[in-house]
Amino acid sequence: MKTVLHVNASPRPATSQGYRLAGELLAALRPSWPGLAILERDLAAMPLLPLSADYAEALTRRTPPQAPAFTLSEALIGELEASDLLLINTPLHNFTLPAALKLWLDYVLRIGRTFASTAAGKHGLLADRPVYLLVGSGGHHRGPHARQPDFLTAYLRHALGTLGLFDLHFIYLEGLVGTPADVADTLAAAREQLSRELPFRPLANPLTTTLE
């Protein structure tokens, strides 16, 4: 049985295009992965507590994982370890990732637990697995319409790579404050890109059936 960890980093999942698309992807996975278990980590519905002094002390003093200060961190890392695939939907907030997602990373990136620090640098201790990132933005940050920098992609590549996660697939939903037609085009392009990705092949079925 396969397990997917879905992390929602949108503060408004009820109207988020990225959140809705994540739901479509989870539904598309079911035929390929019967009995699929989905772990929902909704950072809007259940915001994580800000880092405590105890956590910061425990982390920097290399305290054993059983310490009470690590209870939440261990739970979040456990969800990550249990997953065969990680699906994150996140907005771009002020050119980078939203604070809620950064906080999640601050709980799962733990020295001596999920990454090791060696003379050669930091390296991940988690097994690699596919990670799909749906990144929503009001404007554009790529191509001829780009009007702003994107500090999210490089940061997430580095932070997730530090955990040992390198099989990253970024799907950009740009221009979401545009006209309904623009938004529909963006979503159609994202679905098309995703339908070419192996685990989401069922997403392509209606399209390929009509084309063939």
Ligand X SMILES: Cc1cc2nc3c(=O)[nH]c(=O)nc-3n(C[C@H](O)[C@H](O)[C@H](O)COP(=O)(O)O)c2cc1C
By the criterion CB under 6 A, which residues form the site for ligand X? 10, 12, 16-19, 91-95, 136-139, 148, 176-177
Q: Which residues are bridge partners to 3 per DSSP? A: 37
21 vs 58: CA distance, rounded Å: 38
Closest contact distance (angstroms) between CB of 176 and ligand X is: 4
Q: Quick one: 61 or 147, whose CB is closer to ligand X?
A: 147
Closest contact distance (angstroms) between CB of 96 and ligand X is: 8
- Tell how strand 115-118 and strand 85-91 pair up: unpaired
Q: Quick one: 12 or 61, whose CB is closer to ligand X?
A: 12
Closest contact distance (angstroms) between CB of 174 and ligand X is: 7
Q: Quick one: 101 or 131, whose CB is closer to ligand X?
A: 101
Measured in degrees and rounded to the nearest 5, phi and psi for residue 122 equal -90, 135
Closest contact distance (angstroms) between CB of 100 and ligand X is: 10
Q: Quick one: 10 or 83, whose CB is closer to ligand X?
A: 10
Structure tokens at 5: 């960890």
Asked if 168 and 133 count as a contact pair (C-beta separation under 8 A), the reply is yes
171: helix, coil or strand?
A: strand
